[in-house]
Amino acid sequence: MVIKRWLKAELVQSLKDKRVTILYGARQVGKTTLVKELITEYHGIYFSCDEPDIREAFSNKTSSNMKSFIKDAKFIVLDEAQRVPNIGLTLKLLHDTYPEIKIIATGSSSFELANKIIEPLTGRNIPFTLYPISYKEYSDSFGDLESKRLLEQRIIFGMY
């Protein structure tokens, strides 16, 4: 069962914005699951930057090189984008050259500092942070009765 995340509605709204959407969050909070839902619903293309060939396609390339890799996509996700060297400059180049392409980049909370994304994307990004599943998200997905039954377990072990 997929847990409905409250942040999804805000991410959907960001698809209408011309800026690059940055989705931060700790490991295992559901960033990849959430963006894959958006990819399916809004017909985007998913790129995992954990893959060496994907990293290579976005590392120190010209805008033309990246466009030939992306092809005619109007919506792309760069998951684990912090793995791409100079990702801030890569995102800026894509955004400025092809403003019609909606980009969502995901990464850990250290993504911003480690890759100096702030300077290249000043005024060009919308940051969001996905936190672990909240009790409300859990309750909305599994129902009040089940949530109350497992409340003690959730308090002790958390929602990861």
3-state secondary structure of 125: strand
Look up the pTM and report it: 0.86
What string of DSSP letters covers 27-80? Answer: TTSSHHHHHHHHHHHHT-EEEETTSHHHHHHHSS--HHHHHHHHTT-SEEEEET
Q: Kindly state the percentage of the chain with pLDDT values over 70.
A: 92
Q: What is the pLDDT averaged over residues 15-28?
A: 92
Give pLDDT, residue 116.
Answer: 56
Give pLDDT, residue 61.
Answer: 95
Structure tokens at 144: 């009040």
pLDDT for residue 5 is more than 80: yes
pLDDT for residue 130 is more than 80: yes
Q: What is the pLDDT averaged over residues 146-160?
A: 78
Tokens 């942070």: give the residue: 129
Q: Are 91 and 105 in contact (CB under 8 A)?
A: yes
The partner residues of 46 in beta bridges, in order of sequence, read 77
Q: Kindly state the percentage of the chain with pLDDT values over 90.
A: 61
Give pLDDT, residue 160.
Answer: 65
pLDDT for residue 67 is more than 90: yes
- In tens, the pLDDT along 74-123 reads 999 999 998 998 898 999 999 999 999 999 999 886 655 455 566 777 78
